[in-house]
Amino acid sequence: MNIDFFALFLIGFFGGFSHCIGMCGGFVATYTFKIAENDPAPDNSYFKKLVPHLLYNSGRLVTYTILGELFGFIGGTLGLIFAIQDFQGGLQLLAGIFMVLMGLDIAGLIPNLEPDAFPGVNIFKRTVNALFNKVNRKNIFVLGMVLGLIPCGLVYAVGAKAAATQSIAGGFLTMLIFGLGTFPAMFFTGFIVNLLSVKVRGRLYRIAAILVILMGILTILRGIDALGWIKIYWLSSF
């Protein structure tokens, strides 16, 4: 599992400095300006400026871990219903295939798998707009939690991995480590977003996509091994 956790952190790290900045950087800039407008800091200290970013990203991290627990619970529950050995292998196989597909999608190598509209998207947008209009230092944490639900290829891929753990704790750790990987980029995005060119962000995003694909392949091999189709002895090293 150690190699999995390391890979998850790297996926979050490289994805954070590429995809997350591009997708959520506008949100960060918007809430920063809105907070200054709605809830001016009593002083102009550096620490006061960082607190909203810390709270926002903490809220986002909480949402990721809750999703991880949910995915892990669903995977574990289904594992109790079906034959454990076969289901575990089958779930890992499906999760791995999904991760590879999402990695290819993230890299732009196959048609976009994410539809432009999801059920409930309009309700989600109205909720976000309402929070943005009233955002301040007291509710920025809630905004982070809500925006943690934004449809995202990286979250989908890691969520599949969380389900494959078949446990609440495993799902929690999977999404926690991924979320911590995204933390540096999103925490400091207001300071670095202008320092990274679109070209550099594109390269980092491709690295994240490659890591997702590699983790997906490893998960597929674990599924094949668990199903007994092929015995892969070296997997125990990972």
CB atoms near residue 122 (< 10 Å):
10
What distances in angstroms separate CA 156 from CA 27, 66, 75, 103, 112, one per listed residue?
20, 14, 15, 10, 13
Query: What percent of the chain is modeled with pLDDT above 90?
Result: 21
For residue 194, the one-letter residue type is N
Q: 174, 201, 213, 214: which is closest to 15 by C-alpha?
A: 201
- The pLDDT value recorded for residue 223 is 84
36, 190 contact by CB (below 8 A): no
20, 185 contact by CB (below 8 A): yes
CB atoms near residue 52 (< 10 Å):
25
DSSP character string of 128-160: HHHHHHH--TTTHHHHHHHHTTS--HHHHHHHH
Average pLDDT of the segment spanning 171-178? 96
pTM: 0.76
Place of tokens 């995977």: 75
**Contacts with 115 (C-beta within 8 Å, 6 or more apart), sequence order:** none
Max avg pLDDT among 32-36, 60-64, 83-87, 127-131: 60-64
Max avg pLDDT among 80-89, 130-139, 216-225: 216-225
Q: In this predicted model, what pLDDT tens digit does every residue of 27-66 receive, in sequence order?
A: 777 777 777 676 665 556 666 778 888 899 999 999 999 9
131, 30 contact by CB (below 8 A): no
223, 93 contact by CB (below 8 A): yes
Rounded Cα gap, residues 211 and 217, in angstroms: 10
Domain segments of the chain: what residues? 2-114+125-237
Cα Dmax for the chain: 65
